[in-house]
Amino acid sequence: QVHLAESGGGSVQSGGSLRLSCLGSGYTYSSYCMGWFRQVPGKQREGVASIDSDGRITYADSVKGRFTISQGNAKNTLYLQMNSLKPEDTAMYYCAVHPLWVESATLSALHCLRAGNYDEDDWGKGTLVTVSS
């Protein structure tokens, strides 16, 4: 059973930084999508940054140049370094992982950034990030 545990959220002032971590267990995927998503009440969950099993990284336009996604050596850990945070980055941040039945390189680079391509069981419980102005 897939288990993802996010940590590292908190409250910071505008311009500050946070580093989110996600520790995964209960799965072994040779081809996969893994990513960070965020959601505010009343809005759909949106992709922030993703990485696939071929190492392709994709960022949402709103975070390019400010956020950096990375994996640990064991590939079951995922990080999100968030710099120059803005109040509009305030959200619950989720980690997700989804197996693919084809080589990830055959898919669009945006495939892993789309929340709709992850199943209900692919998600962690989230960590809250609050950025004050």
Look at residue 18 and give its three-state secondary structure: strand
Tell me the per-residue pLDDT of 62-116, one tens digit each, with 9 for 90 and over: 999 999 999 998 889 999 999 999 999 999 999 999 999 888 888 888 999 999 9
Tell me the per-residue pLDDT of 26-51, one tens digit each, with 9 for 90 and over: 999 999 999 999 999 999 999 999 99
Q: In what order do the strands lie in the sheet with 32-39?
A: 10-13, 127-132, 91-99, 32-39, 46-52, 57-59
